[in-house]
Amino acid sequence: MVTKPEPKLPPAKEPGPLQRFREMIRRHTLLNTAWQIGVFTVGMTVLAGGLVMMVTPGPGIVGIVLGLAILATEFAWAQRALHRAKAAAERAKEKALDPRKKRRNLIVGITCGILGGAAVVAYLVVYDYTLPWNIEDPKFWD
């Protein structure tokens, strides 16, 4: 009976200093709990900042994904949420790259830009090219 030789596996890499540090923390219950509380605090702070930036100026999506990535280093529920967020981002990317939708969005953007520019020109013509902060007579608005 002929047996196949088993494929040679590459030698296991020795863990780096960060992995050794994390394993040392995992061995001590109190340190592990403190580490998880710290990761939870930092991750939730970044996640909350991302949620705030969704309604205020700023990169909200980046903050949310970064917060979930920080939380996913320690918590399985965050790994699942991060996986779902990545899948949703991939679907949104595919939808945005659809040629028909891309063309439609381009046409809508150009139309809105032209209408916005026309509104500014109309304002300047109606009010004799006087910008609002250069108006000297306050009764002008009455």
Q: pLDDT tens across 20-66, in order?
A: 888 888 898 999 899 999 999 999 999 999 999 989 888 888 898 89
Range of the domain at 62: 17-96
Q: What would the mean pLDDT of 80-104 be, rounded to a whole number?
A: 84
DSSP state of 138: G
Three-state DSSP at 20 gives helix
CA angle 37, 43, 47 (to 5 degrees): 140
Are 29 and 76 in a shared domain?
yes
pLDDT, tens only, 106-142: 899 999 999 999 998 888 888 777 676 776 766 655 5
Are 41 and 77 in a shared domain?
yes
Alpha-carbon span 102 to 96, nearest angstrom? 6
| 128 lies in some domain | yes
The pTM score is: 0.56
Residue 7 phi/psi, 5° resolution? -65, 145
